[in-house]
Structure 1
Amino acid sequence: MTERSQRAEGGGFFGSYPPQAALADAWDEHRRYVGFAAGLFALGVVVGVLLLAAGYNLLEIIADLLGESLFPEDIDAFGGLELARFLLVNNSQAYFLSIGGALSLGLLTAWAMVFNGIIVGNVGAAVANNVGLDYILVGLLPHGVFELPALFIAAGIGFRLLYRFGQRIRGTRDAVFTKPYLYRTALLVLAGWLLLVVAAFVEAFVTPALLEALFAERLEGLSTP
């Protein structure tokens, strides 16, 4: 932590601990855990690609097991705002679940990262095989540059919280929660969630427009008998 954040630990921190400094300290505190979460996701992507190479299409398997798709059948009929809302609600659930996963000793948080990576790797590889790598890059990158960091931040917060609990149990930390910690972490939670908001609107409005503009002829060719 910076000298400013150390002074804030003594109380009365709102005046001496502006949001910009608090957010910077929150990032310094959590970045290793965010990187760990990104590593778990990358591992999941590799597993997902390998599963497809072995002949396992997870969307088809999950649909057979659950009797329904992971995505609503009428999602194509959603308007832009409806789709953005749907995406934000679903991603927000995953976001806060990753933070709360600290209560499961981090197992739920770790599983969320690996599972999401597996799905992205498996589905992405399947789509790339059918339509092309450029299609999946255009379909994922515009919103993914916002959505994935947000989810990694959430998981990083969950892992860091678990570590603070461990420090308290070992007696190397006086308290799990302090006012400055809650303050700066709440700012990081808000910043990550705002990235999800941006991602939802990009995915609802920008991504479909790009795919239509760049790949309409290719998709029409695929649908032609």
Structure 2
Amino acid sequence: MESGSQRDGTRPTGGYPPGEALADAWNEHRRYVGFAAGLFAVGTVVGVLLMLAGYNLLEIIQELVGEPLFPDVDGGGVDLARFLLVNNSRAFLLSIVGALSLGLLTAWAMLFNGIIIGNVGAYVTRDVGLDYILVGLLPHGIFELPALFIAAGIGFRLLYRIGQRVRGTRDAIFPKPYLYRTGLLVLAGWLLLVVAALVEAFVTPTLLETLFAERLEGMAATV
């Protein structure tokens, strides 16, 4: 029997320590989280290939929607962090409830985000340098990307459980122990998004300004 599912009907949640429940949730979802990360990686490669073919996806999408994709956020770091958290939370939730679309929305969210990151990252690397994109993405990306992979993994796992119920190999989709441990995993993933938003709003801009001020000034002077 799969790890994690052993807990579905064997003990009440009151005797289920949070640390143990979270460990069970991770064991139950880690393969699906890995699958989500794999989809993101495929999307990243596609995004780089599109850049090499001359397609700037941000410009194309902006022309289609007729407005900036990343509007200026007034009010400093706090407002920026709030803006980032709200937008990332929407993507986080979409990746989970995408299970209701037979996983298509969840898969598309992973592929699309990978494509955009790969495309934008390739252009920035070409124009500014690989070190710039690494500093610009890694500090918050090490929190944000795992959070989104966790959300997608939960969505894919939920789809699998629904399939088991339809086939008659599972008695219930949402037994209390499953809801408890998965709820803890959702909370852990969302808290990673909180950290990512704070880092992106307060730490990343300072690092970029400190490390690359001269390079950016030189680029601005040549424009």
TM-score (structure 2 length as normaliser): 0.96
Mapped contact 2:13–2:180 kept (Cα < 8 A) = no
Instruction: Work out whether 1:149 is the aligned partner of 2:146.
Output: yes
Which residue of the partner structure matches residue 62 of structure 1?
A: 61
Which residue of the partner structure matches residue 46 of structure 1?
A: 45
Mapped contact 2:34–2:149 kept (Cα < 8 A) = yes
Which residue of the partner structure matches residue 214 of structure 2?
A: 217
Matches within 5 A, 1:83-102: 83-102=80-99
CA distance in structure 2 between the aligned counterparts of 1:124 and 1:152, rounded to whole angstroms: 19
Quote the RMSD (CA, aligned, Å).
1.4
CA distance in structure 1 between the aligned counterparts of 2:171 and 2:8, rounded to whole angstroms: 16
Write the deviation string for residues 42-99 of structure 1: whole angstroms up to 9, x where unpaired: 0000000000000000001001111112111x23x44000000000000000000100
Which residue of the partner structure matches residue 12 of structure 1?
A: 12
CA distance in structure 1 between the aligned counterparts of 2:121 and 2:18, rounded to whole angstroms: 38
- Listed as ranges, the gaps of 5+ residues in structure 1 are none
Mapped contact 2:12–2:177 kept (Cα < 8 A) = no
Write the deviation string for residues 80-137 of structure 1: whole angstroms up to 9, x where unpaired: 0000000000000000010000000000000000000000000010111110000000
The one-letter amino acid of 1:135's match is Y
Mapped contact 2:47–2:115 kept (Cα < 8 A) = yes
Matched residue SS, 1:175: coil
Distance 1:210 1:7, change over 3 A: closer
Offset at residue 221 of structure 1 (A): 0.2
Equivalent pairs: percent with the same residue? 77
Matches within 5 A, 1:56-135: 56-72=55-71, 74-75=72-73, 77-135=74-132
Matched residue SS, 1:177: coil
CA distance in structure 1 between the aligned counterparts of 2:131 and 2:203, rounded to whole angstroms: 16
Select which of 139, 158, 162 maps to 1:165.
162
Mapped contact 1:59–1:69 kept (Cα < 8 A) = no
Mapped contact 2:141–2:196 kept (Cα < 8 A) = yes
TM-score (structure 1 length as normaliser): 0.95
Which residue of the partner structure matches residue 139 of structure 1?
A: 136
Runs of 4 or more above 3 Å deviation: 5-8
> Number of matched residues?
221
Offset at residue 9 of structure 1 (A): 1.9
Distance 1:7 1:177, change over 3 A: closer
Mapped contact 1:84–1:204 kept (Cα < 8 A) = yes
Distance 1:218 1:7, change over 3 A: closer
